[in-house]
A and B are shown apart, each in its own frame.
Chain A
């Protein structure tokens, strides 16, 4: 890195720094922190940064620490210790003293250990003392934490206990650092240091005197102080005094205005104001103090001026100077005390000496004051006088529970509480006290604290934590009493307790309880309301109204967080204003921030209650922004937690806010509009407009406003339509819709084809080859086949094939759907020779007419010769019967005539078992003979048997035997007509023994009488047929039926009618070629249709 010139570095950082050389604002904290962590390796830069930080406001410093500065500072410290750079260590320790700390932060790194180590091993006295102070301070924080505020506040409290100006010390420290930083880099600081140390010593002497005068207890610290001055801070003070005196004066002048206002308030409130003359003095002193406090330079400048007699401030009287000096002394004392605490008893002895000296040197006024202080704190003085430790204890006690502590401090606190933010008055009071009496002294002491309190309270607001805020409030009060730095968390805690203690102390002090009460009340109101209020407000706006005072206080806090709306804020502001005025009088800083906050807070409430949605947030943010922008400095101040907030800025902010509030309160509408105007750009929806200045109307108005706000409107189209783009991941899933139409179609086709195949082939295509393929064997006795020996086309084709490539298809797909088309041939129209149907020659011999000859009956199995013969007989029987039936009336004569060219053939028949057997194999003539033969008589017997044998499953032999035997006897009966009747008889018994199913019996029975009747009439045959058919139906096994059906023409038809399409008219009518139109059923004996049958029932023929 190039050599760093401090001035250049500062110039570079100028943007980020405020006029004091501290960090400008919270927004810069992070940047600064980042810069520091990055570019703090060189000693020069470290020193510059340390100075910057030391001049930074406590709140910002706290922020810085939280942002990472703590670790950074720790590293610096460790580096400095490692390099034995004790001056730097000292600077850093001072910085640490200034920086707000809490337990958690202390735990973060080894900084506490380092510091503790420095207590023993510090390179020089200053470092050691500083380290001890630090350790003590932090110890208090750590140990005090359990108690809460006490511990945290203890450091400040301790300082405070030493003197009311304890806070001043811190201020002075800060100021010193800032002045140094602003003035120049580290090197010049050193130079100044020496010089300043010299000056300081002088100052110290003076201050010591003053201290002694002011408080006897402080005397002990003075000695220490001197030591300190010689070694440490004095250098800074010196530098500060040099560089910043002029500035300080200017600042002080500027601030005086603010102070005046606060003075006025304080005057009103404070009892100290009783002495008007003193008041003036006090005012002046306040001004001076303000100058001193707000601008660190001013303090010292003033002090220096006093010392050097070139007082920039217009000190009307020596009292002022004395007061200022006393302040300084007090500050010095604080330091001294701190040092003294850590210091050994020797220091105490010095202190005693100093006390003596101081008492001697102190002026009458101071004596008085000291006396007063001593008297008031006589007990404490006695305690403290014995040892420094006691004084510390007192301080601590005061901080934690001041009741035990000296009345003086308590009274101071009380005064502070009363005055709250009235540092100047306190100063004046102190002056007055010093001049006039103890009470006065107490007041001034308290005064500086309140100012700090104000700043602290602002900080708390920024914190926005309920607890934090409460603490801060209290801490302010304590700070009033203690007038020392209050690291944010600790200070709050400490403050809280002090507040609690404060009232007690107040009581003890005898100060007006009312004031005390007022003070405590506001803080809780501020704190709790701040957070509670929003809730409460959300729930019940009336609740806010109910607590005007508290609300006021609360409002400001809210304001700090939320800025916008008007109505409620206006109402609140209106109600608050009077109180505010009071507050202003009492405490400028405190009141003003509250006021400022108040308007903002109501806005919040509205927003909370009204807008639940993002709009609120936006509004809040916007409001915050606005607030920040408007009241940037105060806001920052509040954010920065404890310690000193430049009163100037605070005052300015407060004033601005007050103005705004006033304007808002006076012209609620105007404010509302203004707010609206402010808000509208951000959020048009939240209109303040409708709201009246008063709360309740405001609420109503808000509702009205809400109405429009709540209008339901569609989101803009852009928001309504969301477009997302997905990349298609093919592997992701199978989209059903991806199947193309063709695929679906093919699927459909395949499924359909499968279904068709199933339908065609049946569901069970279990066809399997039952044997292996073998070489073919020629069949013997096959006549030669001409094999187209005359074919000429064969030759043609052979020639073609010789010259034509064979079509080869290696896969089914290659086969064309159709063979190649044939060449077109000329189609000659020619006369097609007609093939006559009939013999043109008319030769009658050319026609063999067998149309009247029934087809031969089918035959059964020919498994064995016997069986076959038998079966054949049986089969033949049926057909034989048919002819008989058809001509029912007339016995067979006509048959015989028609068919019997060769009746003589009959005789051979007897050969077979049954007499009526006719050689089935016989040639047609024989068959015809059979038919024609009247033999039927013998024949008739068997038909029954024949029927029985019909089922193929039946062994033919058995059948034949069974029926054959009975057949004989039946056939025998002579009395009947030769033919028909016997079969009837046969049928009757036949079924019974035979395998024929049950139905046969009844069927047989039914026809029997019929048959009997018709017998004579010739109806017998019909019955016979009937029976046969019925039998077929009843016993019809699959094959059996087939046999029957296929038997003979007539039979077949008949059977077909009954068997296949039973009842169908066509079948009925089909009977016998001759008898078409005659109802076969009727002919068989019974027609279910009766007379309605469309076929003829030839009654006459029967006869």
Chain B
């Protein structure tokens, strides 16, 4: 049984589970592609895995040695890659099954601010404050590709895993074909440069038609994925701390979700750009991470607490 996600459904989301596993803010969360698990990492160096079907916390791993800032599931069950905050900026490939690092991907010299993995294969991208973007393959610690940029790099895979986008300097998006990235971007979107903030994240919609640009300000941009035309600007959520607030698509690409520093979840209609709703989950702190389950009607938001949201309305049934 599937439910169509509508405004009313979106508005009916309420907090169903709260996890206070972490003592510090949660830096990143990532759903497994099958939507059954959620992995989170926190400033307190804990990596917590939740079982989304049960709504429980299923596993916790510490990474106090290297710290953890960004984390992503990889395709294998119980494996993840994460960026480090300590020792060095190496990306680490972690097997949660036996709590063991499988591989290190050294190369960045500054903090990794963007990390994404190919939805199809074992490659992943990482952008760093060292103004480089690196392409990796889980099978090798060696960097598979290196891009030098003039500014802060962000990157994202398209849902098909055929191309990846690199956001550069908060003013342009370059699309590369993974098969021929060494020939340069096949298209570049030059956009009106952000003056008030920086781009902090790129996300392709599941349908691959749009690209969502999240910033560390109180604005979210939506850009046509094929032409690069600016589609929408989503504002109206406070971000008075200049933190990178994640914005996410709903799996059907209809809605845009974003956290805010007021502890609420703001929802826009991606098509119209209108705000659909502001969900109040009483987050005590800034909601920095918001993601919709890639498969199920479930929303996850995190400040220091992890909240699972479920729709109370099933109109669309």
Report how far A328 CA is from B297 CA in the complex, Å.
143
Q: A848-B190, A861-B274 are in contact. Are A837 and B148 (CB under 8 A)?
A: yes
Interface status of B315 (Cβ within 8 A of chain A): no
Q: Which residues of A contact B104 (CB under 8 A)?
A: 822, 825
Closest-by-CB residue of A relative to B277 is A861
Q: Which of B258-302 contact A (CB under 8 A)?
A: 268-269, 271-276, 281-285, 292-298
B118 to chain A, nearest CB (A): 7
Kindly name the residue among A775, A781, A1042 whose own CB sees the greatest number of chain B CB atoms within 10 A. Answer: A781
Closest-by-CB residue of A relative to B252 is A781
Q: Which residues of A contact B23 (CB under 8 A)?
A: 753, 756-757, 760
Given B138, B143, B250, which contacts A779 in the complex, CB threshold below 8 Å?
B250
Report how far A1078 CA is from B189 CA in the complex, Å.
27
Q: Which residues of B contact A1070 (CB under 8 A)?
A: 195-196
B18 to chain A, nearest CB (A): 5
Report how far A815 CA is from B99 CA in the complex, Å.
9
Scan B292-317; emit 1 where CB is below 8 A from any A CB, else 0.
11111110000111011011101010
Given B99, B118, B221, which contacts A788 in the complex, CB threshold below 8 Å?
B118
Q: Which residues of A contact B66 (CB under 8 A)?
A: 818
B141 pairs with A779, CB closer than 8 A: no
B35 pairs with A776, CB closer than 8 A: yes
Q: A771-B310, A781-B252, A791-B121 are in contact. Are A847 and B229 (CB under 8 A)?
A: no
Report how far A869 CA is from B186 CA in the complex, Å.
37
Q: Among A303-311, A517-525, A852-860, A1014-1022, which stretch is in contact with chain B? A: A852-860
Q: A822-B92, A834-B145 are in contact. Are A776 and B229 (CB under 8 A)?
A: no
Q: Is the interface of A mostly helix, strand, loop or mixed?
A: loop
B281 pairs with A858, CB closer than 8 A: no
B65 pairs with A800, CB closer than 8 A: no
Q: A761-B285, A774-B310 are in contact. Are A855 and B119 (CB under 8 A)?
A: no
A858 pairs with B34, CB closer than 8 A: no
Report how far A800 CA is from B310 CA in the complex, Å.
35
Q: Which residues of A contact B174 (CB under 8 A)?
A: 837
Q: A779-B251, A839-B184 are in contact. Are A859 and B273 (CB under 8 A)?
A: yes
Closest-by-CB residue of A relative to B310 is A774
Closest-by-CB residue of A relative to B121 is A790
Interface status of A716 (Cβ within 8 A of chain B): no
B190 pairs with A767, CB closer than 8 A: no
Report how far A379 CA is from B243 CA in the complex, Å.
139
Interface status of B2 (Cβ within 8 A of chain A): yes
B297 pairs with A836, CB closer than 8 A: no
B233 pairs with A837, CB closer than 8 A: no
A766 pairs with B282, CB closer than 8 A: yes
Report how far A1042 CA is from B143 CA in the complex, Å.
43
Q: A793-B139, A798-B76, A847-B187 are in contact. Are A862 and B65 (CB under 8 A)?
A: no
Q: Which residues of A contact B314 (CB under 8 A)?
A: 777
Q: Is the interface of B mostly helix, strand, loop or mixed?
A: loop
Scan A744-767; emit 1 where CB is below 8 A from any B CB, else 0.
000000000100110011101111
B308 to chain A, nearest CB (A): 7
Q: Which residues of A contact B235 (CB under 8 A)?
A: 858, 1042-1043, 1045-1047, 1052
Q: Which residues of A contact B187 (CB under 8 A)?
A: 846-848
Report how far A1043 CA is from B235 CA in the complex, Å.
7
Interface status of A801 (Cβ within 8 A of chain B): yes
Closest-by-CB residue of B relative to A1071 is B195
A27 to chain B, nearest CB (A): 88
B93 pairs with A822, CB closer than 8 A: yes
B229 to chain A, nearest CB (A): 4
Q: A809-B60, A819-B63 are in contact. Are A830 and B142 (CB under 8 A)?
A: yes
B296 pairs with A850, CB closer than 8 A: no
Q: Which residues of A contact B168 (CB under 8 A)?
A: 837
A828 pairs with B142, CB closer than 8 A: yes
Report how far A777 CA is from B1 CA in the complex, Å.
7
Q: A779-B2, A848-B228, A855-B221 are in contact. Are A767 and B207 (CB under 8 A)?
A: no
Interface status of B28 (Cβ within 8 A of chain A): no
Q: Which residues of A contact B233 (CB under 8 A)?
A: 855-858, 1046
Q: Which residues of A contact B276 (CB under 8 A)?
A: 861-862
B296 to chain A, nearest CB (A): 4
Q: Which residues of A contact B14 (CB under 8 A)?
A: 770-771
Q: Which residues of B contact A924 (CB under 8 A)?
A: 224, 229-231
Closest-by-CB residue of A relative to B24 is A760
Q: Which of A817-873 contact B (CB under 8 A)?
A: 817-822, 825, 827-828, 830, 832-841, 846-862, 868, 871-872
Q: A779-B297, A804-B98, A837-B148 are in contact. Are A787 and B53 (CB under 8 A)?
A: no
B273 pairs with A820, CB closer than 8 A: no
Interface status of A739 (Cβ within 8 A of chain B): no
Q: A767-B283, A818-B66, A856-B273 are in contact. Are A801 and B78 (CB under 8 A)?
A: yes
A767 pairs with B15, CB closer than 8 A: yes
Q: Which of B93-136 contact A (CB under 8 A)?
A: 93-95, 97-104, 106, 118-122, 133-135
Q: Which of B174-226 contact A (CB under 8 A)?
A: 174, 176, 181-193, 195-196, 206-208, 218-219, 221, 224
Report how far A770 CA is from B66 CA in the complex, Å.
36
Kindly name the residue among B52, B219, B251, B275 whose own CB sees the greatest number of chain A CB atoms within 10 A. Answer: B275
Count of chain B residues with a beta carbon within 8 Å of a chain A beta carbon: 145
Q: Which residues of B contact A855 (CB under 8 A)?
A: 191-192, 219, 221, 230, 233
Closest-by-CB residue of A relative to B21 is A812
B98 pairs with A764, CB closer than 8 A: no
Report how far A683 CA is from B300 CA in the complex, Å.
98
B218 pairs with A1045, CB closer than 8 A: yes
Interface status of A733 (Cβ within 8 A of chain B): no
B60 pairs with A787, CB closer than 8 A: no
Closest-by-CB residue of A relative to B122 is A793
Q: Which residues of A contact B227 (CB under 8 A)?
A: 848
Q: A760-B24, A837-B148, A1046-B233 are in contact. Are A778 and B188 (CB under 8 A)?
A: no
Q: A837-B174, A924-B229 are in contact. Are A804 and B97 (CB under 8 A)?
A: yes
Closest-by-CB residue of B relative to A834 is B146
Interface status of A714 (Cβ within 8 A of chain B): no
Interface status of A785 (Cβ within 8 A of chain B): yes
A848 to chain B, nearest CB (A): 4
A776 pairs with B52, CB closer than 8 A: yes
A767 pairs with B230, CB closer than 8 A: no
Q: Which residues of B contact A847 (CB under 8 A)?
A: 187-190
Interface status of A786 (Cβ within 8 A of chain B): yes
Report how far A340 CA is from B145 CA in the complex, Å.
152
Q: Which residues of A contact B33 (CB under 8 A)?
A: 785, 787-788
Report how far A847 CA is from B174 CA in the complex, Å.
9
A820 pairs with B97, CB closer than 8 A: no
Interface status of B25 (Cβ within 8 A of chain A): yes
Closest-by-CB residue of B relative to A848 is B228
Q: Which residues of A contact B97 (CB under 8 A)?
A: 797, 800-801, 804, 806-807
A568 to chain B, nearest CB (A): 90
Closest-by-CB residue of B relative to A1045 is B235
Given A804, A839, A1043, which contacts B186 in the complex, CB threshold below 8 Å?
A839
Closest A-B pairs by Cβ, 3 of them = A1046-B235, A862-B274, A788-B75
Contact sample, A vs B, 20 pairs, CB 8 Å cutoff: A761-B305, A773-B54, A774-B16, A776-B293, A777-B314, A778-B297, A779-B297, A781-B4, A785-B295, A786-B120, A789-B120, A792-B121, A793-B79, A800-B98, A801-B97, A815-B99, A858-B233, A859-B272, A1042-B237, A1053-B196
Q: B residues within 8 Å of A by Cβ?
A: 1-5, 7, 14-18, 20, 23-25, 33-35, 45, 52-55, 60-66, 74-79, 92-95, 97-104, 106, 118-122, 133-135, 138-139, 141-150, 159-161, 168, 171-172, 174, 176, 181-193, 195-196, 206-208, 218-219, 221, 224, 227-238, 240, 250-252, 268-269, 271-276, 281-285, 292-298, 303-305, 307-308, 310-312, 314, 316
Q: Taking A791-B121, A848-B189, A1046-B234 as given, write out 17 further A-B residue pairs in contact, using a Cβ cutoff of 8 Å, ordered by the A residue number.
A: A761-B285, A761-B304, A762-B285, A774-B16, A779-B296, A783-B207, A787-B33, A801-B78, A817-B62, A822-B104, A825-B103, A836-B185, A862-B276, A1038-B238, A1042-B238, A1043-B236, A1045-B235
